[in-house]
C-alpha cells in the first residue's frame, strides 16, 4: 500500500514540472526503481491510472527501469550482487555489507506536449 503515496508524489512532481514549461499534456514518465525498494510496478500503474484522471497526466504511459541490488563488503570493499538471501562476500567470505545500488527511486524523465502558439494575421494595411 506504500505505492499510493509514492505515486501521489510522482504525480505532484510531474504536474509541477509540466506547469513550469507550460505543457498541455504529459505523455510519458520514466521511473527508475531499485530492486530493494519493494515497490511493485503494477501497483504504481494501478494508482497512477486512478489519481492522474482528469489531469494533464491522464493517459500518460509509465516506463519502469529496475536497478539490480549491489552490495559492498565492509571488510574488503568488493562490490557484488547478492545471491538470493546469501549476502556473503564472494572475495573474503564476510557477511557485513552496505547497499551500493538497488534502493533508488526517482523520476528520470518526463515527456510532455506543448501547444504551438498560433500566428494571427492582424493589422494588414
Looking from the CA of 73 toward its CB, the CA atoms found within 13 Å total: 16
Give the domain 3-113 fold: hypothetical protein PF0899 fold (3.30.2320)
Query: Which is higher by pLDDT, 54 or 85?
Result: 54
Q: What global pTM score does this model have?
A: 0.80
- Tens digits of residue pLDDT in 7-43: 999 999 999 999 999 999 999 999 999 999 989 999 9
- Tens digits of residue pLDDT in 38-68: 899 999 999 999 999 999 999 999 999 999 9
Strand order in the sheet with 61-67: 61-67, 25-34, 105-113
Residue 115: band (very low, low, confident or very high) from pLDDT cuts 50, 70, 90: confident
Amino acid at each position: 500500500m506504500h505505492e499510493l503515496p509514492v505515486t501521489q508524489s510522482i504525480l505532484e512532481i510531474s504536474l509541477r514540472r509540466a506547469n513550469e514549461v507550460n505543457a498541455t499534456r504529459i505523455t510519458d514518465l520514466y521511473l527508475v526503481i531499485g530492486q530493494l525498494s519493494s515497490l511493485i510496478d503494477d501497483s504504481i500503474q494501478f494508482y497512477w491510472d486512478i489519481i492522474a484522471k482528469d489531469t494533464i497526466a491522464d493517459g500518460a504511459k509509465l516506463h519502469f527501469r529496475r536497478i539490480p541490488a549491489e552490495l559492498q563488503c565492509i571488510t574488503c570493499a568488493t562490490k557484488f550482487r547478492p545471491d538470493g538471501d546469501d549476502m556473503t562476500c564472494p572475495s573474503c567470505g564476510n557477511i557485513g555489507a552496505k547497499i551500493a545500488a538497488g534502493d533508488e527511486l526517482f523520476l528520470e524523465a518526463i515527456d510532455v506536449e506543448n501547444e504551438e502558439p498560433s500566428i494571427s494575421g492582424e493589422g494588414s494595411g
